[in-house]
Amino acid sequence: MIRSFRSTKGPPILLSVLQQLYRNSQRISQWLFPEHCRSCGAAGAALCSACAGDWPRLPDALCSYCALPLQVNGDCPVCAVEAPPYDHVYTPYVYAEPLSAAILAWKFHQRLDWTLALAQTWAESWGEQPPSRPECLLPAPLHARRLRERGYNQALLLARHWGKRWHIPVRPAALRRCRNTRHQTGLSAAARRENLDAAFSLHGKLPAHVAIVDDVMTTGTTAAQLAELLRQGGVQRIDIWVLARALRETVPTHA
């Protein structure tokens, strides 16, 4: 694989030649192996504009904390009574078909070819700038056993893509899952909190503003547990970046 030479040190003429070779190699690679839409198979992009347009979007009026849809902008009944330990959830999408099918295939059925389509389409929905500007991205951690079973942490894949796109450092070892908890699906809010009690640990000093990255947010229990841990560690602002917001508790995810 030919890497980028943007940061290579050397004579200006040599750098110019190497950079041009790199650009040419990228064009040749795109010509020989064009991207195809993961949904319909059309050539041109990891997700074509037509299929991206089918992904269900959240409305404009949302809870200022947890991003649940409301009639008007403000705080949802739950967050109005007790604000969560995180500051804001950023996601443009509802966890529903056809996006939910793509996430499930990517997460549970080894469809790693969906990574680019999911990460890139989410990022492009915000335009040129990220939804917020944290000083680092923290992927929601998997327990070592579950990581071995799955083979990858989907949150880390997203964080790496978004971190590279917007030049934000990724700190994959800062948050760790020290207990192999059961899936949250079907558990009550109280049971979810109990299931995640003392499940995470924090390692190293973090900057004042961070974003937790995950795939789907359901009740927000995982996000809240991680945010509380970060608050204890001195973090002042905590954003949540997720692909989609579930509106019903029917999601087979740890979020």
- Per DSSP, the three-state class of 91 is coil
CA dist 50 → 33, 38, 43, 58 (Å):
21, 12, 12, 18
The number of CA neighbours under 13 Å toward the Cβ of 105 is 15
Q: Look at residue 186 in the predicted model and tell me its pLDDT.
A: 54
Q: How confident is the model at residue 198, as a pLDDT?
A: 64
Structural domain 56-245, CATH architecture: 3-Layer(aba) Sandwich (3.40)
Q: What is the β-pairing status of strands 136-139 and 209-217?
A: parallel
Question: For 75-133, what is each residue's pLDDT tens digit?
Answer: 999 999 999 999 999 999 999 999 999 999 999 999 999 999 999 999 999 999 999 99
Q: Which of 15, 14, 19 lies closest to 3, judged by CA?
A: 19
pLDDT higher than 50, residue 145? yes
Q: Percent of the chain at pLDDT above 90?
A: 65
Q: Could you tell me the CA-to-CA distances from 197 to 67, 169, 211 in Å, in that order?
A: 24, 28, 21
| Prediction pTM value | 0.80
Token pair of 140, please?
């929601």
Token pair for 231: 């608050």
Per-residue pLDDT tens over the stretch 16-44: 666 666 566 555 544 445 678 988 988 88
86, two tokens: 């995180």
Average pLDDT, the chain: 84
d(CA 3, CA 23) in angstroms, rounded, equals: 10
